[in-house]
Amino acid sequence: MELFDTHCHTHEMVRRITPVYDKWHGDSMERTPESVIDAAHEAGVSRMLCIGTSLADSELAVEFVQNRGNMWTSVGIHPHEAAEALQKGHLDALRALVTSPKVVAVGECGLDYFYNHSPKEDQITVLKAQIELALEHNLPLSFHVREAFDDFWPLFESYRGAGLRGVLHSYTDNTANMERAIKHGLHFGVNGIVTFMRDEAKLVTYRTIPQHLLLLETDAPFLTPVPFRGTVCESKHVRVTAEFLAKLRDENPEDLAAETTANACALFTV
């Protein structure tokens, strides 16, 4: 089985950039990036995409993937970091970083109105800048959209016809937004959340995402799937999510793995 973790923060293990990623050291397991990568390979997770969340974090991710096989990175500003990025003028440096080797996407970028760690106007400004950066370099986007589709769609659709492509990472929203995303050819990143989802309507959504738009991810170190809740999430956990999802969708796990990996390789051109 060959799986692709299309959204992880594994690079955050090596240097403290944002306190939230101290979670990498949140259980009693001894971990190194090598042990995490080896364990992923053993589980069949042969490809990984590290995701940048701020300028400093994106710089670290770029450095981290350079000498590692089958690992790539995105560079981007998470909506939580939008205000600081604007204050410090980080968008110009991000524009320079995007041309680094092994950068295959822009993001994670988007709108998060659940936490609102940055003002909405700042989130929108920084999202637009990243959409334009992706278009300029013909790169796909990794979107983080939480309780914000009412603002996301008009903004996204204002670029209609420009050739935007990408993935709605950690998709947990409803069927109406799924259908709207399908119309635009957007991909859906599914992670460990599906294994502990109780909302029957959302399980229906997971069952109906078209296979050709489905990607697998972890968001490691977060969102550990059942039955490993309580431990730190690693890329190897894509495997149990794939097996769970295959069962939910009544599909062969080998086929689901092959299809989602092919989808990811095509989207990120790797």
Site residues, Zn ion (CB under 5 A): 219
Distance CA 97, CA 86 (A): 16
Comparing CB distances to Zn ion, the nearer of 213 and 221 is: 221
| Closer CB to Zn ion, 117 or 246, in the complex | 117
Backbone angles phi, psi at 141, to 5 degrees: -115, 145
Give least dist CB 241 to Zn ion, A: 15
Residue closest to Zn ion, measured at CB: 219
Q: How far apart are CA 103 and CA 86, in angstroms?
A: 22
CA atoms within 13 A on the CB side of 75: 28
Q: Please report how close the Cβ of residue 220 comes to Zn ion at its closest, in angstroms.
A: 9
Helix (H, G, I), strand (E, B) or coil at 100: coil
Nearer to Zn ion, 173 or 219 (CB): 219
Q: What is the dihedral of CA 203, 205, 208, 210, to 10 degrees?
A: -130
Say how far apart CA 101 and CA 131 lie, in whole Å.
Answer: 20
Q: How far is the CB of 103 from Zn ion (least distance, A)?
A: 16
Taking the complex as a whole, how short is the minimal distance between the CB of residue 8 and Zn ion, in angstroms?
8
Length of the chain: 270
Q: Of 81 and 219, which CB lies nearer to Zn ion in the complex structure? A: 219
* Nearest distance, CB of residue 184 and Zn ion, angstroms: 21
Judged by DSSP in three states, 51 sits in coil
Nearer to Zn ion, 172 or 250 (CB): 172
Picking from 44, 53, 159, 66, the residue whose alpha carbon sits closest to that of residue 108 is 53
The side-by-side arrangement of strands in the sheet containing 214-216 is 3-8, 45-50, 71-75, 103-112, 141-146, 166-168, 187-190, 214-216
Q: How far is the CB of 252 from Zn ion (least distance, A)?
A: 29
CB of 126 to Zn ion, least distance (A): 16
Rounded Cα–Cα distance for residues 130 and 108 (Å): 9
Q: Are 78 and 93 in contact (CB under 8 A)?
A: no
